[in-house]
Amino acid sequence: MTVSIQRARDILQQAELLYPAEQVQASLHEVARQINAALADKHPLVLSVMGGAVVFTGQLLPLLDFPLDFDYVHVSRYGDARHGGAMHWKVSPRENVRGRVVLVLDDILDEGHTLQALRQRVMELGAGKFYSAVFADKRHGRKKPIHADFVGVELPDRFVFGYGMDIEGAWRNLPAIYAVKA
Q: How far is CA 67 from CA 45, 57, 144, in A?
A: 9, 15, 32
What pTM does this model have?
0.91
pLDDT tens profile 23-72: 999 999 999 999 999 999 999 999 999 988 999 999 999 999 999 999 99
CA distance 34 to 122: 22
Q: 110 has which bridge partners?
A: none
Which own/partner pairs from 169-175 qualify as long-range (CB within 8 Å, at least 24 positions apart)? 169/1, 169/2, 169/3, 169/80, 170/2, 170/3, 170/7, 170/8, 170/11, 171/8, 171/11, 171/12, 172/51, 172/52, 172/54, 172/55, 173/55, 174/12, 175/21, 175/24, 175/25
pLDDT tens profile 68-126: 999 999 986 654 445 555 667 777 777 689 999 999 999 999 989 889 999 999 999 99
**Burial of 141: CB neighbours in 10 Å, binned 0-12, 13-18, 19+:** exposed
pLDDT average, residue stretch 16-25: 98
pLDDT average, residue stretch 149-166: 96
Query: Which CATH code, of 3.40.50.1970, 1.10.10.1150, 1.20.1290.10, 3.40.50.2020, is assigned to 5-177?
Result: 3.40.50.2020
